[in-house]
């Protein structure tokens, strides 16, 4: 194998070592089958005339199996058939007793084994491997001598090499579930040949167990809110502009919808504020702050300081569950921090929860659905359940 190919394979192996912490092939047993093309190159010197150059390609096929011990390292072994190469050359007889035609035939096959390193690139893996092959290399040379004078006729020289040899390889693999398609180059250091290599494509199946999704980590629910204080019946014929049953003089939330369930002070018991967040962000944008600013005057009013609630953060299903729980908690905390920055003393009346990807309000299979699930919900809890 030429020095340029060795340098390229060495560079791929070095890169795989440098990136060994990244995600690569799944752990477990794998099997594969492949086919492609082999190339054999050699130059023979018969000491009787011009040399014979062999540079031929043939079909190659193989089957293999292996085991990935970690996400970046595995071993594999199998059988490869490298085919046959034939070459012949005729030339004028210049010296009596020299052949007028030389023919050579080479066949190769063997059992091989490798250590394999993986370098992930999304759904693709680059890989490099080094090992050896117990090869059977058969070389047959035929010399054709002309004329009736001996050594007229054909002489044969057949030899076989079965020693272990170094083998190298590199390639790329596309993963889709348990299946993978891979293309690779494999080369062999063979004494009887100047060059022997194969380029193949393979279909591979890996036997690994599907990972179970961990149960959502949900913050413990807050204790039940105290029962609301009974609302005193309003004086007869008192002004009540929003028709919520609380006189305008005592109404601290004068714009509640007609018929809404309210507590003392006339504030909506079922008030819910929902804020949306960009992907992987816990930062409040101008639109979010504008929505919160609407309720800041109510929260600052000491006459309704009894209002209590919870601030719940959520994410979509993208990413690890543990990370999503933390992200959702940071989103909820960002809302509380902004409210406090506006001069509101919340005390211990509001709880902050992060529920991660639990309790989605839309499908996580679409972009729009995931956007709806990235949210923070602020709701009251001091009124008790609705009747």
**Could you tell me which residue, 58 or 246, shows the higher pLDDT?**
58
Cα–chain-centroid distance for residue 169? 23
Q: What are residue 349's phi and psi, to 5 degrees?
A: -80, -20
Supply 93's token pair. Answer: 């007889």
Confidence band of 255 (pLDDT split at 50, 70, 90):
confident
Judged by DSSP in three states, 20 sits in coil
The C-alpha atoms of residue 193 and residue 50 are separated, in whole angstroms, by: 18
Q: What is the pLDDT of residue 221?
A: 58
Q: Which of 258, 346, 364 is nearest to 378 (CA)?
A: 346
- Nearest CA-CA partner of 125 in 67, 183, 168, 167: 183
CATH code matching the domain that covers 3-207, chosen among 3.40.50.720, 3.40.50.970, 2.40.50.140, 2.40.160.20: 2.40.160.20
Angle CA(367)–CA(372)–CA(375) in degrees, nearest 5?
Answer: 130
User: How many alpha carbons lie under 13 Å from residue 4 in its C-beta half-sphere?
Assistant: 1
Across the range 251-255, mean pLDDT stands at 71
Name the least confident of 186-190, 255-259, 290-294.
255-259
Q: Are strands 52-68 and 28-44 parallel, antiparallel or unpaired?
A: antiparallel
- Summarize the confidence of residues 75-94 as an average pLDDT: 82
Compute the average pLDDT of residues 186-191: 89
Which residue would you say has higher pLDDT here, 227 or 35? 35
Q: Which residues pair with residue 202 across a beta bridge? A: 34, 182
Of 142 and 13, more confident: 142
> Which has the higher per-residue pLDDT, 267 or 100?
267
pLDDT for 381? 78
Q: Looking at residues 13-17, what average pLDDT do you find?
A: 43
Q: Averaged over 230-238, what is the pLDDT? A: 61
The confidence band for 294, taking pLDDT boundaries of 50, 70 and 90, is: confident
For the chain, the helix, strand and coil percentages under 3-state DSSP, each to the nearest 5: 15, 40, 40
The fold adopted by the segment(s) 272-380 is 60s Ribosomal Protein L30; Chain: A; (3.30.1330)
Amino acid 81: pLDDT: 96
DSSP 8-state code for residue 281: -
Q: Is 136 exposed, middle or buried (CB count within 10 Å of its CB: 0-12, 13-18, 19+)?
A: middle
126-130, 196-200, 356-360: segment of lowest average pLDDT: 356-360
Q: Which run of H or of E encompasses 106? A: strand 101-121
Of the ranges 152-161, 193-202, 336-345, 377-386, the best mean pLDDT one: 193-202
Highest mean pLDDT among 61-65, 207-211, 313-317, 328-332: 61-65
Asked which of 30-34, 55-59, 174-178, 303-307 is least confident by mean pLDDT, the reply is 303-307
Compute the average pLDDT of residues 79-108: 76
**What single string gives the DSSP state of each residue in 145-191?**
E-SSSSS-EEEEEEEEE--EEEEEEEEEEEEETTEEEEEEEEEE--T
Report the alpha-carbon distance of residue 119 to residue 210 in Å, rounded. 22
Q: Determine the pLDDT at residue 311.
A: 87
Return d(Cα 339, Cα 343) in angstroms, integer. 7
Closest by CA to 9, choosing from 187, 155, 128, is 128
- How does residue 281 score in pLDDT terms, banded at 50, 70 and 90? confident
Residue 261 CA to residue 225 CA, distance in Å, equals 16
At residue 203, the pLDDT reads 96
Residue spans per domain, the chain: 3-207, 272-380
Mean pLDDT of the chain: 79
Provide mean pLDDT across the span 142-160. Answer: 65
Instruction: Answer with the residue of higher pLDDT: 129 or 44.
Output: 129
């Amino acid at each position: 194998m030429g020095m340029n190919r060795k340098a390229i394979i060495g560079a791929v192996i070095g890169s795989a070592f440098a990136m060994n912490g990244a995600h690569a092939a799944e752990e477990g047993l794998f099997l594969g089958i492949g086919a492609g093309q082999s190339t054999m190159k050699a130059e023979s010197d018969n000491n009787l005339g011009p040399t014979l150059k062999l540079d031929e390609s043939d079909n190659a096929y193989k089957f293999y199996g292996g085991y990935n011990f970690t996400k970046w390292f595995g071993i594999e072994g199998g059988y490869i058939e490298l085919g046959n190469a034939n070459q012949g050359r005729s030339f004028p007889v210049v010296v009596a007793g020299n052949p007028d035609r030389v023919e050579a035939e080479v066949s190769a096959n063997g059992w091989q084994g490798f250590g394999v390193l993986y370098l992930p690139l999304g759904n693709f893996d680059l890989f490099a491997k080094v090992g050896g092959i117990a090869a059977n290399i058969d070389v047959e040379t035929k010399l054709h001598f002309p004329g009736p004078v001996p050594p007229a006729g054909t002489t044969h020289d057949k030899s076989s090499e079965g020693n272990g040899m170094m083998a190298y390889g590199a390639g790329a693999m596309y993963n889709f579930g348990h299946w993978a398609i891979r293309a690779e180059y494999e080369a062999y250091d063979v004494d009887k040949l100047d060059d022997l290599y194969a380029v193949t494509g393979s279909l591979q199946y890996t036997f690994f167990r599907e990972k179970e999704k961990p149960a959502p980590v949900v913050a413990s629910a807050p204790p039940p809110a105290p029962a609301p204080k009974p609302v005193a019946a309003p004086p007869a014929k008192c002004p009540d502009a929003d028709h919520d049953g609380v006189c305008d003089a005592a109404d601290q939330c004068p714009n509640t919808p007609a018929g809404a369930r309210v507590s003392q002070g006339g504030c909506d018991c079922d008030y819910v504020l929902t804020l949306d967040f960009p992907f992987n962000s816990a930062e409040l944008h101008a639109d979010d702050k504008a929505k919160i600013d609407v309720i800041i005057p109510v929260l600052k009013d000491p006459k309704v300081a009894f209002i209590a609630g919870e601030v719940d953060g959520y994410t979509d299903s993208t990413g690890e569950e543990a990370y999503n729980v933390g992200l959702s908690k940071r989103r909820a905390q960002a809302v509380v921090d902004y409210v406090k920055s506006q001069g509101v003393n919340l005390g211990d009346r509001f709880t902050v929860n992060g529920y991660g990807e639990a309790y989605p309000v839309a499908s996580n299979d679409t972009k729009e659905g995931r956007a709806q699930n990235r949210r923070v919900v602020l709701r009251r809890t001091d009124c008790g359940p609705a009747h």
